[in-house]
């Protein structure tokens, strides 16, 4: 009886698909993968270190062979062999906001095409935590890093520069920044939103915003509101400005506080995100306030609920996945030896719906 192993539909022998009980050196197992895939060991190395230089068909054969042999490339060995770790880092402020998840998804999609793994850190809006995470990522040999916003200790950027690790600042863009920024102009976005309400006849404004401490994006948004109103001789009363968690609950509590404050009531409320705006809208309905006839409410982000709630929310939209993709490509360009560009500005879009209407002074 023949002892020749039978072949599967993929052309791999049954013996080859059985995990080895005892393996030799990493080099010999790499050779097994190469033999099974019908390529050289150098090609196997390129599939994992420089996939862009290998055809999709060859990559598939190598990955199939690796899976058949239960072989996983050793990350430390890859780093020593190629002087690269194939790891990038992304630090975001919170896991609770879908806009940052969308950005990370966009980054990961682009990085994965180049065989780079994305490490994720969450700073909880604490610059000191972000610095700690950057140190930890550098200790693990990350090749590139993205951080949200610019409000960090100078040491964070100095460390990245000292270690020659390219970085980008995301979700923010401003002329004159010393950093490569990939995002949008938060000040201009809120100036546009405020101008829209002014064009509708509103002259008394309130603001419900996330905490501005250590948050350059929120600070820029507040400047956009205040500077635009000042140009029209207007200002937000202190009792009409609330800062706190970016939640529906805080939006509700803030609207009640503003409405119960002594003095004239606002006709328009500008919110820092859609959660805050939805909270304000729900509380307005609970208090019997007609939206938008008595009170106009605006948000930011255009989450799914903003389009489904009644009245639908007037808000601003930015393609956060595009920010992630552009940030990843900028980092890859730097890793490929191209110089840092001046940054990339992503456009924002005002989406006008039923929660903001014309104010006739009544």
Q: Give the pLDDT confidence of 190-220 residue by residue, as tens digits.
A: 999 999 999 999 999 999 999 999 999 999 9
- The whole-number average pLDDT for the span 279-294 is 97
Q: Give the pLDDT confidence of 316-343 residue by residue, as tens digits.
A: 999 999 999 999 999 999 999 998 777 9
Q: What are phi and psi of 39, to 5 degrees?
A: -135, 175
Burial of 265-294, coded b for 16+ CB within 10 Å and e otherwise, reads ebbbbbbbbbbbbbbbbbbbeeeebebbee
Q: Does residue 248 have a cis peptide bond before it, meaning omega lies within 30 degrees of 0?
A: no
Domains 1-84 and 87-184+320-347 equal at CATH topology level: no
pLDDT band at 75 (very low <50, low <70, confident <90, very high): low
Which residues have a Cβ under 8 Å from the Cβ of 99 and sit 6 or more positions away?
A: 171, 301, 318, 320
pLDDT of 2 reads 40
Give the neighbor-by-neighbor strand order of the sheet with 296-298. 241-243, 205-209, 268-271, 296-298
**CATH number of this structure's domain 186-317, picked from the four choices 3.30.390.50, 3.90.1490.10, 3.40.50.2300, 3.40.50.720:** 3.40.50.2300
Q: Are 135 and 353 in contact (CB under 8 A)?
A: no
Q: By C-alpha distance, which of 172, 178, 242 is closest to 207? A: 242
pLDDT of 42 reads 87
Mean pLDDT of the chain: 88
pLDDT band at 25 (very low <50, low <70, confident <90, very high): very low
pLDDT at 24 over 60: no
**CATH code for 1-84?**
1.10.260.40
Q: Give the pLDDT confidence of 174-187 residue by residue, as tens digits.
A: 988 999 999 999 99
Q: Is 132 exposed, middle or buried (0-12, 13-18, 19+ CB in 10 A)?
A: middle
**CATH code for 87-184+320-347?**
3.40.50.2300
Identify any residues that bridge with 21 across adjacent strands, giving them in sequence order.
none
Per domain, the residue ranges of the chain are 1-84, 87-184+320-347, 186-317
Burial of 83-102, coded b for 16+ CB within 10 Å and e otherwise, reads ebbbbbbbbbbeeebebbbb
Q: How far apart are CA 189 and CA 199, in angstroms?
A: 16
Cα 47–chain centre separation: 28
Pairing of β 205-209 and β 167-170: unpaired
């Amino acid at each position: 009886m023949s002892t020749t192993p039978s072949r599967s539909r993929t052309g791999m022998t049954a013996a080859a698909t059985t995990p080895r009980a005892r393996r030799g050196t990493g080099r010999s197992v790499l050779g097994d993968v190469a033999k099974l895939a019908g390529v050289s060991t150098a090609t196997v190395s390129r599939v994992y270190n420089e996939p862009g230089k290998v055809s999709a068909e060859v990559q598939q054969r190598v990955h199939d062979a690796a899976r058949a042999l239960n072989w996983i490339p050793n990350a430390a060995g890859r780093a020593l062999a190629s002087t690269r770790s194939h790891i990038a880092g992304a630090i975001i402020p919170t896991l609770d906001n879908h806009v940052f998840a969308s950005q990370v998804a966009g980054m990961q999609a682009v990085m994965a095409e180049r065989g780079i793994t994305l490490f994720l850190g969450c700073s909880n809006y604490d610059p000191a935590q972000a610095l700690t995470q950057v140190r930890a990522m550098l200790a693990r040999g990350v090749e590139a890093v993205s951080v949200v916003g610019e409000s960090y200790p100078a040491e964070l950027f100095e460390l990245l520069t000292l270690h020659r690790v390219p970085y980008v600042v995301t979700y923010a863009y401003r002329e004159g920044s010393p950093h490569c920024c990939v995002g949008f102009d938060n000040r201009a976005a809120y100036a546009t939103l405020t101008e829209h309400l002014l064009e509708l006849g509103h002259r008394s404004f309130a603001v419900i915003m996330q905490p501005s401490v250590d948050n350059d994006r929120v600070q820029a948004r507040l400047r956009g509101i205040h500077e635009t109103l000042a140009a029209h001789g207007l200002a937000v009363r202190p009792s009409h400005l609330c800062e706190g968690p970016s939640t529906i609950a805080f939006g509700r509590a803030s609207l009640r506080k503003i409405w119960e404050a002594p003095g004239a009531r606002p006709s328009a409320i500008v919110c820092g995100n859609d959660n805050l705006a939805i909270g304000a809208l729900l509380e307005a309905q609970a208090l019997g306030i007609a939206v938008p006839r008595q009170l106009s409410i605006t948000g930011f982000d255009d989450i799914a609920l903003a389009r489904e709630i009644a009245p639908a929310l007037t808000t601003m939209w930015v393609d956060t996945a595009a920010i992630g993709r552009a940030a990843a490509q900028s980092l890859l360009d730097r890793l490929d030896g191209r110089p840092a560009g001046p940054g990339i500005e992503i456009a924002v879009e005002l989406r006008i719906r039923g929660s903001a209407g014309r104010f006739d002074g009544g």
